[in-house]
Each structure stands twice: as structure tokens, then as C-alpha cells.
Amino acid sequence: MTALTPPDTPKRAVLRHIRPSDLKAAVQLAAQAAQGVINMAEGVHQSVRHRLGLASGAEPEQTGGVTGRVYQGVRGATRLVGHATDALLGALLPLLDDPATHPEASPQREAVLAALNGVLGDRLQAAHNPLAWPMALRRGGETLALDPSAVLAAQLGTHASPHLVLLIHGLCMNDTQWRRAGHDHGEHLAQALGCTPVYLRYNSGLHTSVNGRELALMLEQLVAAWPVPLQRITLLGHSMGGLVARSAVQVARRAGLHWPGLLRELVFLGTPHHGAPLERAGHGVDLLLAATPFTAPFARLGKLRSAGITDLRHGHVQDADWQGRDRFASPEDHRLVLPLPEGVACFAVAATLAGQRGLLADRLTGDGLVPLRSALGQHDDPARRLVFAKDSQRIVYRTGHLDLLSSPAVAQQLLHWLVPTA
């Protein structure tokens, strides 16, 4: 560092990961949050008035009279400020934010956006917020072109092979986070098998079935544009990614798409096939907050969590699992039974923080997020059980949910399952 170079303060370090276009998205998100806080405050106010017998207003959580008009005025002022700021930024940002000056996004920024999409991704998309991630097929941090095939061939270079391995990340993660502790399962398989790994990036805050449907169509485009004749497709999903993979296969087969005919293996790493207790606990908090009029307005905080998160309560895979129902209302499992796809070799890796199996590890702790039974497809209802062959399951001990991405035991097991047999 020269004497003319300013020190890299924490503020400067943060600014290195922020683009000017993020400001507009952040202002939009902040305005929505402000409206939510105003609604919550009015709800508490109205609850107290109900308790004192002074409540008025057309809606249970909206005040009437002068008080109601005050809240309406505050909302209006917030909207005006938001619109004015949005218009100003809309005029300035084209002058400041040239995409050519940002050829690569920082890993820190990507990780933050991945987490934000996982928690609020459905709301970001509904509001057309630019922070919402579109689905993309990526390799080496670059989005792959699906048409024309000549562009894809140039991107893949000599790495295109007849064996495609698609890696699908989990909730609040992104395609670059398959690399953990210096290891990447995709690269490891490419070196050992000569396959071509491609990584999916998606908005994990959307319903699993919505992402599955989009992936099914995107894979059809990828197969059509692949520069060499494809002979084999392997889907490798971590956590929620396994549910997205199952959904995509189901949608593609129903639609008569071509790529399922090339699908040979479906591999799940810590996939919550029957849900995760953390989301069920979140639903319990919703019910608890809604139990009294004073805490009921705060139940909105719990309902901020995305559709993708609530899908993990029981492991939703199909549209019918959630359509037509309030996703916060019922703790019951309304899923339609969906077996593993026939004609595809299916494998499951489950992890536990414990040194051996037991009631606590099987049904609750598991790898810290997913219980062993859920990751292995086991269920008390025989109709819901996913039937894996005995040698198609592997349990790794003293391993956490994210450690599945870097575990040497998991890497060796993947090779054992995926090495072509005579």
C-alpha cells in the first residue's frame, strides 16, 4: 500500500460489494418494510382500543376516525417519499451503473443476495424488485446461453461431454457455494468421470414446484443446445435442491419433455423429503403469536418468511401440495403422494451430528437442519415412504448439513454410485 492509497476501512470494504443499482432495490424494499411497520403499529393500537371498548374502524386491525386518518396520512407520505426517491434513482443510475464495470460479482455480495432471496424471494419477485434472482444455468460463475448452440459451445469449449451433471443448491444458497473448504463435488466428478458439471442458480424463496417447473423447461432448452450428443444426465441436489429436482422430473414427464429420457441418476444430499422441524417450529410460533390480541399483529413478522421456506414444513414438491390453501394456516400434511421416479437410479445421503443413530438424531437433530428419517425418505405412513435400494443410501456421522458439500466420505460415495458399470 502506497502513502496515497487510503486505508481499507470497514465502510470501504462494504462498499466494494455494493453496486449503485442496489440502491433502488434497497429503497423499494425499505418502503415496503416501512408500510409493514405502520400496519403492525396500527394493529397493536387497535388491539388495545378493542380491549378498552373503544375500537372503531371497518377492519379488525385498522383504526377509524381521526386516528385512522393519521395512519392513512403516514402511509401516503411514505409512499410519496418512496416514489420520489425511486424516480430520482431511476434517472441517476443509468449514469452511474454501467454493467461493463462489474464483470464479476463478489462472493460476499452473491451470498447476501442468495440469503435475501431465500427469505423474501417471493415478495421480491412479486414487487419486481431487481434484487430478485432469475433462474439461470451457470458454469464458472458465468451464465450459460441456451440458444444458439454455437454460443453454448464457445462457452463450454472442450469441456462439453456426453454426460451432464446438474448441481442444484439449497435454500438461501447459490451456485458458487458448492465450493466449500476447497472442495467442489462438481469439479471432483468432472475430474474422475469426465462429465460436465453445470450449476443451477434459482430464487429459493419461490415455491419448490414453481422452481421445478421452470427448471424442467430450462433443461429442455439446454439439452437441445448442448454441443455434443447427450447420453446421460445426472441431477445432484443439496437440501431444497433435491425437492426442486424431484419436482422438475415430475413436471417434465407429465409434459412429455425429452430430457427425462436421458436422466440416469438422481442424487439427494441432505434433502428434507418429509420436511424439517425448523419450519414446523416456525409455524408453531405463528400460532403462539396469534393466540392473543396484543401479540396477533406481530404474527406478521413470522409470515414474512418465503413460500420456499414454508414448503419445507413437509417437503412440498407439487403445485397441488400448496395451491388453494393458506400456507400459514394449517400444520397438517396435505401433500399428494409422489414416489421416486421409475427407471431412474435414486440415491440418498443423510448426515447426523451424532456418532450413531438414535431417536433424537433420526427424528429431530439429524444434520442440524434435516432429520435422518426425512433425508432417507422414511415416514410413519407407508404410502409416503420413498423406497431407496439398501445400497443406494449412505449415512455420514458427525457431519453437519453444509458439511455434506465438503465431506470426503460423501465425495467417495458419489464416485462409487456414479462410476459407469459394464
* 251 plus 164 within the same structural domain: yes
* 159 plus 222 within the same structural domain: yes
Q: Which domain holds residue 267?
A: 136-275+335-418
Amino acid 124: pLDDT: 84
* 149 plus 213 within the same structural domain: yes
Amino acid 325: pLDDT: 85
Q: Does residue 69 lie in a domain region?
A: yes
Q: Does residue 266 lie in a domain region?
A: yes
**Alpha-carbon distances, residue 220 vs 134, 167, 214, 263 (angstroms):** 17, 16, 10, 12
341: burial class by Cβ within 10 Å (0-12, 13-18, 19+)? middle
Domain end marker among 52, 81, 98:
98
* 264 plus 198 within the same structural domain: yes
Domain end marker among 70, 98, 126:
98
* 42 plus 175 within the same structural domain: no
All residues at 6 or more sequence positions from 295 whose CB lies less than 8 Å from its CB, including other chains: 288, 289
User: Residue type at 342?
Assistant: E
Amino acid 13: pLDDT: 47
Amino acid 303: pLDDT: 63
Amino acid 187: pLDDT: 97
pTM for the model stands at 0.76
Encode the chain (422 residues) as per-residue pLDDT tens digits.
444 444 555 544 444 555 555 555 555 555 554 444 444 444 443 444 444 444 455 454 454 554 455 435 444 544 544 444 455 445 444 444 444 444 456 787 788 788 888 888 898 898 888 888 999 999 988 999 998 888 999 999 888 999 999 999 999 899 999 999 999 999 999 999 999 999 999 999 999 999 999 999 999 999 999 999 999 999 999 999 999 999 999 999 999 999 999 999 999 999 999 998 765 444 444 444 444 444 444 444 556 678 998 898 889 999 999 998 887 777 788 899 999 999 999 999 999 999 888 877 777 678 888 999 999 999 999 999 999 998 999 999 999 999 999 999 999 999 999 997 64
In whole angstroms, what is the distance from residue 228 CA to residue 234 CA?
Answer: 16
Domain total of the chain: 2
Contact between 199 and 184 (Cβ < 8 Å):
no
Amino acid 277: pLDDT: 78
Q: Does residue 310 lie in a domain region?
A: no
Q: Which of 195, 259, 230 is nearest to 417 (CA)?
A: 195
Domain end marker among 98, 114, 146:
98
CATH label of the domain that carries residue 176: 3.40.50.1820
Residue 331, all three cell numbers: 400444520
